[in-house]
């Protein structure tokens, strides 16, 4: 693993070649030209609720610094879905990576289906410490819906590349929708390889305001 001094697109992709995407957000790092990443997951409340949410995240590197992706999810009970297709551009300044992008898509809600526009911006960098290499970053998103609603999301992520090639990820998530109270969640996860191509993600999500806990299992693949 490189030490990110100086950082290039190639070295960033190398450090995160077994990298996060969900954690699906908080991602300033480019996927890398010709590289594909796909994750699917299911998250189910186990304490204080009973809802489940399925998600899909896909990325493909169009160039070394331009990434195309799809971010989708569905409430299992209501079958309401959201799908956003996006483009993200990455630029580097020394050891820091910055990205900006735009997503467009649709969202189902109680009053029908609405179009969505989602600007995104993120910062990230790698680190080298006594316990090994890793990364940290922040991503912000602000969605505008055609029904007049807006949704802000900010994810802060700290990741560790473990010696056995697994990943430990800690994420703090903030979200706020128009005319609704904000949510803050603590979301740790652990990702381990099944094969050189497939990995399993095991995680949890604790919502502070509602005092609810959800467990998550996901499958990652990249090639």
Looking at every residue in the chain, the average pLDDT score rounds to 85
Question: Residues 42-93: pLDDT tens digits?
Answer: 999 997 667 899 999 999 999 999 999 999 999 887 788 899 999 999 999 8
Burial class from Cβ neighbours inside 10 Å (0-12, 13-18, 19+) for residue 143 reads buried
Please check whether residue 4 lies inside any domain of the structure. Answer: no
Q: Which residue has the higher pLDDT, 156 or 131?
A: 156
Q: Residues 142-171: what's their mean pLDDT?
A: 93
* Neighbour-count burial of 75, counting CB atoms closer than 10 A to its CB (0-12 exposed, 13-18 middle, 19+ buried): middle
54: nearest Cα among 223, 216, 222: 216
What was the pLDDT predicted at 131?
76
Task: Express each pLDDT in 5-42 by its tens digit.
Answer: 233 333 333 333 334 333 444 478 888 999 999 999 99
Does 79 reside within a domain?
yes
* Domain assignment of residue 137, yes or no: yes
The CATH code of the domain that includes 98 is: 2.40.160.40
pLDDT of residue 185: 96
Least confident span in 51-55, 189-193, 198-202: 51-55
- CA dist., res. 96 & res. 4, Å (int): 9
Let me know how long the chain is: 223
Give the confidence band of 205 by pLDDT, cuts at 50, 70, 90: very high
Kindly state the DSSP code that residue 61 receives in the 8-state scheme.
E
pTM: predicted TM-score of the whole model, two decimal places: 0.84
The per-residue pLDDT for 66 is 95
Looking at the structure of the chain, the number of domains it has is 1
Residue 94 contacts by C-beta under 8 Å, 6 or more apart in sequence? 6, 7
Q: Is residue 2 part of a domain?
A: no
3 pLDDT more than 70: no
Residue 215, C-beta contacts closer than 8 angstroms, at least 6 positions apart: 43, 44, 46, 203, 204, 205
- Note down the domain range covering 76: 9-222
Domain presence at residue 3: no
Task: Note the pLDDT of residue 47.
Answer: 78
Average pLDDT over residues 202-209: 94
Surface-to-core class of residue 70, CB atoms within 10 Å of its CB (0-12 exposed, 13-18 middle, 19+ buried): middle
Q: Is residue 17 part of a domain?
A: yes
């Amino acid at each position: 693993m490189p030490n990110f001094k100086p950082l290039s697109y190639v070295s960033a992709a190398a450090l995160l070649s077994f990298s996060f995407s969900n954690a699906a957000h908080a991602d300033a790092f480019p996927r890398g030209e010709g590289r594909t990443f796909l994750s699917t997951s299911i998250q189910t409340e186990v304490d204080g609720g009973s809802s489940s949410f399925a998600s899909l995240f896909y990325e493909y590197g169009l160039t070394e610094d331009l990434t195309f992706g799809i971010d989708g999810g569905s409430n299992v009970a209501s079958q309401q879905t959201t799908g956003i297709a996006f483009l993200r551009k990455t630029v580097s300044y020394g050891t820091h990576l910055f990205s900006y992008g735009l997503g467009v898509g649709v969202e189902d809600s109680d009053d029908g289906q609405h179009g969505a526009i989602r600007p995104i911006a993120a910062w990230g960098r790698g680190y080298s410490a006594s316990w090994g290499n890793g990364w940290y970053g922040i991503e912000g998103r602000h969605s505008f819906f055609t029904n007049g609603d807006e949704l802000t999301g900010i994810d802060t992520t700290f990741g560790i590349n473990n010696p056995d090639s697994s990943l430990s990820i800690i994420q703090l998530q903030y979200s706020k929708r128009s005319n609704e109270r904000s949510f803050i969640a603590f979301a740790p996860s652990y990702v381990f390889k099944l094969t050189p191509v497939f990995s399993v993600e095991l995680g949890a999500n604790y919502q502070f305001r509602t005092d609810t806990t959800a467990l998550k299992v996901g499958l990652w693949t990249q090639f």
